Amino acid sequence: MALFDLFRRRAAPPPPDPMELALAAFQRGDYAEALNLWEPLARAGDARAQSNIGACFAEGMGVERNPALALTWLTLAAEAGYPAGQRNLAALYLQGGGDAVEADPAHAAALYRQAAEQGDAQAQDMLSWMLLEGEVIPSDPEEAHRWALAAAEAGIASSMTRMGMLYHHALGVERDVAEAARWWRRGAGHGDADGQAMLGAAYVLGAGVEADPVTALAWLLRAQAGGSGLAQPFLGPARARLDDAGRAEAARRAALPLEEEGA
């Protein structure tokens, strides 16, 4: 028993993981501490730390915004093949960074594709959007659908809403208003304001779901509060179909926590 106690006293716990400590600091808003922990990792070649530092300089989190330093760190992470680094560098090139970083949307699209092909869901979402818009790279609705589906299944709400748009407008898929409403419901339930607006519109029009003005107005009010401009054209028609009690019920539902809406 004494030998066991001696062994137990000598068994030291493993040292804390600096990356985990940094992420915990970042999540509680202590960006300066996160940067202090990431810096030695980044200088030692850790692509994840390089990407995180670059993102902080790009967004001005814990440090003054510095596109030039963001470019340096994100390029290192991207060239190491780290998907989030490629995606963060793509975002920097998409918007540009003053004199330090000239906007290069075509290069951004290429970086998003590199990250998307490695399974980065946020990059898949952005690549899907770019393929649908067709302003930077040629429009390809079928490929846009493929990437949107991958991102949506990974939990990206904006891609869920985009899937609804693709089915509603028959872009890359056959038109299916019920499938569109199903995807809008998923996007709405995950908090996407545009998805909430389109689900509300579906309930106004009875497109893919049974018309229900109270449910319609509840989703449209929630979408409007979330900043979606897509809700505005449908608010008047939804209100016009309801009496004061119906409008009050819709407002009550719109104020509930999202999980209580029954999405």
pTM score, whole prediction: 0.89
Per-residue pLDDT, 13: 66
Per-residue pLDDT, 184: 98
Burial code of 107-125, b = ≥16 C-beta within 10 A, e = fewer? bbbebbbbbbeeebbbbbb
Per-residue pLDDT, 14: 72
Helices (H) and strands (E) in the chain, counts: 15, 0
Cα gap 55→61, rounded to integer Å? 8
Per-residue pLDDT, 99: 87
Per-residue pLDDT, 261: 55
| Averages of pLDDT over each 10 residues, the chain, 263 residues | 57 77 91 93 96 95 94 98 98 92 96 98 98 96 98 98 98 97 98 98 97 98 98 97 98 90 48
* Fold adopted by 14-118: 1.25.40
The separation between CA 198 and the C-alpha centre of its own chain, rounded to angstroms, equals 18
Per-residue pLDDT, 79: 97
Per-residue pLDDT, 263: 44
Cβ count near 248 (within 10 Å): 12
CA dihedral 213, 217, 220, 222 (to 10 degrees): -140
Domain ranges of the chain: 14-118, 141-256
Tokens representing 1 are 């028993």
Place of tokens 């190491």: 80
* Fold adopted by 141-256: 1.25.40
Residues 230, 197: contact at Cβ < 8 Å?
yes
Do the domains 14-118 and 141-256 sit in the same CATH topology, yes or no?
A: yes
Q: End-to-end distance of the chain based on CA atoms, in angstroms?
A: 58
